[in-house]
A and B are shown apart, each in its own frame.
Chain A
Amino acid sequence: MEEGQVISQSVQQSAAAYAIIKDKFGEAVSAFDANETMPFFEVLDLSAWPEIALFMRDNPKLQFNYMACLSGVDYQSEEKVGIVCNLESLGKLNHRIAVKVKCARTGGSIPSVAGVWHTANWHEREAYDMYGMLFSAHPDMRRILCPDDWEGYPLLKDYKVQESYHGIKVPY
């Protein structure tokens, strides 16, 4: 963050929430990024992610009871794909934070948090559908939008559409 820039109240709240998480999980989470649009941190230890999620939901000082969105991202240059979870404490503490989780670009997998926020169920399926990362311990790990026998993951940056699908030509 640039010198002299005023940190808004909502980012301060997020920073306070982050401090509690950092206290508990230490090295498993990265440093805090006070991004004005959406402050975030990254989960460095993949296996700790469900536990962090549960802690964020249930700790009385955090109460992130609402997953607003879970999006997928392709970090092609880093050879990784990941998710960004926008979490909010709706009607309780009214703070928000984003959590990023990354895994290997091919054959990678991220622990599912569908058991923590039900919203994550379909969103994780969508991230899988579009980017190809698996979510371990997900209750229903199938494609959600593309047909089950579709080839490839359409939102990867190097995606090439298949020539034909069930005998129907796909490209223009």
Chain B
Amino acid sequence: MGLLDAGIKNHNVLVTSVDNVLNWARLSSLWPMGFGLACCAIEMMATNASNYDLERFGIFPRSSPRQSDLMIVAGTVTMKMAERVIRLYEQMPEPRYVLSMGSCSNCGGPYWEHGYHVLKGVDRIIPVDVYVPGCPPRPESLIGGLMKVQELIRMEQIGISRADALKKLAEKSVDPQFVIESERNAASA
């Protein structure tokens, strides 16, 4: 039986390959929306700048939500800003991803109890895919979070929902160490 027949009858080889190519293209040019809300934004800007150079991953900030795939919620979301965040999120084309950066946007951070004006976690208003802890997270952890977004995209396939992909990611994350090890073993074999 030819490869093509086998693929179409059994494992859908053709479609999975197209999936892979599309996913590879999407995860290699993640364009986040360039907006920062508080001190975490400084760290995000540092990550974008030459020392950490996000552009080597194809990540560079766009100034319009309509051109971006990823929203990095970097900083304190106030109640006043919350509604604007929803609007910006709705303006982004699908498929879109949200990375919540820092304690403030994860859960309210230092303002969790007495900050009357702070939204206690951006996941109260928009769905969040990846959380990066820290106050502020170092650029390395932000890059780590972005790698997680890339893994998530890699997990996605036609016919698999985002929720399923997230579940798969939680079960078996693409640990770089594991990949390195297996590459090494393959090389020596």
Residues of A within 8 A of B (CB): 145-147, 150, 154, 159, 161, 165-166, 168-172
Contacts and interface: CB of A to CB of B under 8 A. Distances in A.
Interface stretch (B22-30, B75-83, B94-102, B176-184): B75-83
B108 interface: yes
Contacts, number: 27
Contacts of A169: 120, 124
B116 A172 contact: no
A170 B108 contact: no
Contacts of A170: 79, 116, 120
Interface of B: 79-80, 82-83, 108, 112-113, 116-117, 119-120, 124-125
Nearest to A148: B80
A172 B79 contact: no
A159 B115 CA distance: 12
B-side binding surface: helix, strand, loop or mixed?
A: loop
B88 to A, nearest CB: 15
A147 B83 CA distance: 11
Contact of A168 (B112, B116, B119): B119
Closest 4 pairs between A and B when the two form their complex, measured CB to CB: A161-B116, A154-B116, A172-B120, A147-B80
Contacts of B83: 166
B113 A168 contact: no
Nearest to A154: B116
A145 B118 CA distance: 12
